[in-house]
Amino acid sequence: MTQLLDYSKEELREIFASLGIEKFRADQVYLAMLSGKDYDDNINVPKSVINQLIDKNFLMQSVKIIRKLESKKEHTTKFLYQLSDGNIIEGVLLSYKFGNTLCVSTQVGCKMNCAFCASGLNGFVRNLSAGEILGQVVAVNKMIGGTVKKREITNIVLMGSGEPLDNFDNVVKFLNNIMSKDGFMMSARNISLSTCGLPHKIEKLADLQIPITLCVSLHAPNDAIRNKIMPISKSYTIAQILDAVKYYNTVTNRRIIFEYILIDKVNNSPTHARELAELLKNIPCHVNLIRLNPVDGRDLSQPSMESCIKFQNALARFNISATLRRSLGDDVEGACGQLRNKVLKEKRDI
Ligand code: SAH
């Protein structure tokens, strides 16, 4: 089985040429599939060509929305998608007046096993291909009435399940394809990638000069605390991550976003705020504070709202710009991995 969404328009032209199909047919199929169309939609391609593609086991759409849950509280919609091999992944759409932000997954499951996150609870299954990452954008864009020419998704965050930099080549291919002038023409400025902090990969990404916004899940003001909640910190210290981040900032000139989940009695005291401010004082950055979303099977508690505001104010006193992200969509299990795990559990219970 070949997923056509894995390819750029040029690559699709070559594949079609090798089958003796004219180039302009590749262009038609390329635009149709980016708009979310499949073979049985009216795509203006002769039946003989379509049969040839189906015979070769070429898939136009590799990601199907199988469940959609709208949050009552906020403009948040949670999606479950099914992949062509039956695996299930999830995503979240945040709809604001200024546009629609889609949070996409990059792996089925995750290797990192962070103590606060649901994504790693069932282990790692596999990487998503570039086309399966793009397919999430295609499916949701279509669902909300967009096409390739009139794109409704304005922003992408690679912040769903998985560690994007652990699937480096497919993620970079996805970035190139979604930014391509042949397709969605998304600007790097409207794309953010969130990583648990793999220093060599951050540097490699910087060298590619794709100026997306880099978000780093720091979650701790020192290595001792980070060790307790993020197993990856046994491989890389905060100092190594910050060196890589400074390099990223120098090469791309983009401000870095640090994410910091506030966890009660773990990392949320005023002393921790001071320590964090000290770490970040020479880095052009912004801190996104996130109040922990409790996750079943993970033994950590949510701090009071009051203590979160105190933490934010403490950072402000040290001149670190920080926002406290409202918890969006928690009534539809908004935190990473929650919905997928729930569905998997339901399936086991049946
Ligand atoms: N592997 C990447 C991308 C995964 S998403 C990374 O580590 O950055 C990671 C983000 O999901 C975290 O920074 C946080 O913003 C969010 N997240 C995960 N579990 C959460 C939880 N229980 N409560 C709140 N936010 C959570």
User: How large is the average pLDDT for residues 308-324?
Assistant: 96
User: Looking at residues 275-283, what average pLDDT do you find?
Assistant: 97
Residue 230 confidence (pLDDT): 97
**C-alpha to C-alpha distance for 294 and 302, rounded to whole angstroms:** 6
Cβ 266 under 6 angstroms from ligand 1: no
Average pLDDT estimate for 72-84: 88
CA distances from 167 to 177, 198, 258, 283, 300 (A): 16, 11, 21, 26, 28
Global confidence as pTM: 0.95
Query: pLDDT band for position 121 (50/70/90)?
Result: confident
* Residue of higher predicted confidence among 330 and 270: 270
Report the SS3 class of residue 44.
Answer: coil
The lowest-confidence range among 27-36, 221-230, 288-297 is 288-297
Q: Dump the DSSP string for 182-194.
A: TTT---GGGEEEE
Q: What percentage of the chain reaches a pLDDT higher than 70? A: 93
Phi–psi pair at 182, nearest 5 degrees: -75, -15
- Give me the pLDDT at residue 237, please: 98
Ligand 1 site, residue 194, Cβ cutoff 6 A = yes
Predicted confidence at residue 215, as pLDDT, reads 98
The pLDDT of residue 350 is: 40
Residue 317 to residues 243, 287, 312, 320, 321: CA-CA distances in angstroms? Answer: 25, 14, 9, 7, 9
Residue 296's pLDDT is 79
Above 80 in pLDDT, residue 297?
Answer: no
pLDDT of residue 329: 56
What does the alpha-carbon distance between residue 305 and residue 323 come to, in Å, rounded to a whole number? 13
Res. 259 pLDDT band, cuts 50 70 90: very high
Collapsing DSSP to helix, strand or coil, 56 comes out as: coil
Mean pLDDT of the chain, nearest integer = 93
Q: What is the dihedral of CA 305, 306, 312, 316, to 10 degrees?
A: 160
pLDDT at position 118 is 86
The three-state (H, E, C) secondary structure of 128-148, written as one string: CCHHHHHHHHHHHHHHCCCCC
Give pLDDT tens digits for 180-224. Answer: 999 999 999 999 999 999 999 999 999 999 999 999 999 999 999
Query: Rounded to the nearest whole angstrom, what is the distance from the C-alpha of residue 15 to the centroid of ligand 1?
Result: 38
Q: Please identify, by atom number, the ligand 1 atom nearest to the C-alpha of residue 118.
A: 19
- Check whether 298 has a pLDDT greater than 80: no
Q: Residue 129's pLDDT band (boundaries 50, 70, 90)?
A: very high
* Closest ligand 1 atom number to CA of residue 219: 13
Strands, sheet with 285-291, edge to edge from the N-terminal-most edge strand: 63-70, 76-83, 88-96, 99-104, 153-158, 191-195, 213-217, 256-262, 285-291, 322-325
Look at residue 335 and tell me whether its pLDDT is greater than 60. no
With a cut of 60, say whether residue 290 has pLDDT above it: yes
Going by alpha carbons, the residue nearest to atom 18 of ligand 1 is 117
The pLDDT of residue 349: 47
Going along the chain, which residue ranges are E strands?
Answer: 2-3, 58-59, 63-70, 76-83, 88-96, 99-104, 107-109, 124-127, 153-158, 191-195, 213-217, 256-262, 285-291, 322-325
**236-242 — which CB contacts under 8 Å span 24+ positions?**
236/197, 236/198, 236/199, 238/279, 240/199, 241/197, 241/199, 241/202, 241/216, 242/279, 242/283
pLDDT band at 332 (very low <50, low <70, confident <90, very high): low
Residue 47 has pLDDT above 70, yes or no: yes
Is 90 annotated in the active site? Answer: yes
* pLDDT tens-place string over residues 139-195: 999 999 999 999 999 999 999 999 999 999 999 999 999 999 999 999 999 999 999
How far is it, in rounded angstroms, from Cα 35 to Cα 267? 44
Of the candidates 228, 248, 303, the residue with the CA atom closest to the CA atom of residue 273: 303
Asked if residue 259 has its Cβ within 6 Å of ligand 1, the reply is yes
| pLDDT greater than 70 at residue 309 | yes
Residue 324 confidence (pLDDT) above 50: yes
Determine the residue of 261, 308, 323, 326 to mutate for testing ligand 1's pocket, defined as the one with the most ligand atoms within 8 A of the Cβ atom: 261
Q: State the pLDDT at residue 347.
A: 59
Q: 338 pLDDT exceeds 70?
A: no
pLDDT reported for residue 299: 81
Please identify, by atom number, the ligand 1 atom nearest to the C-alpha of residue 295. Answer: 22
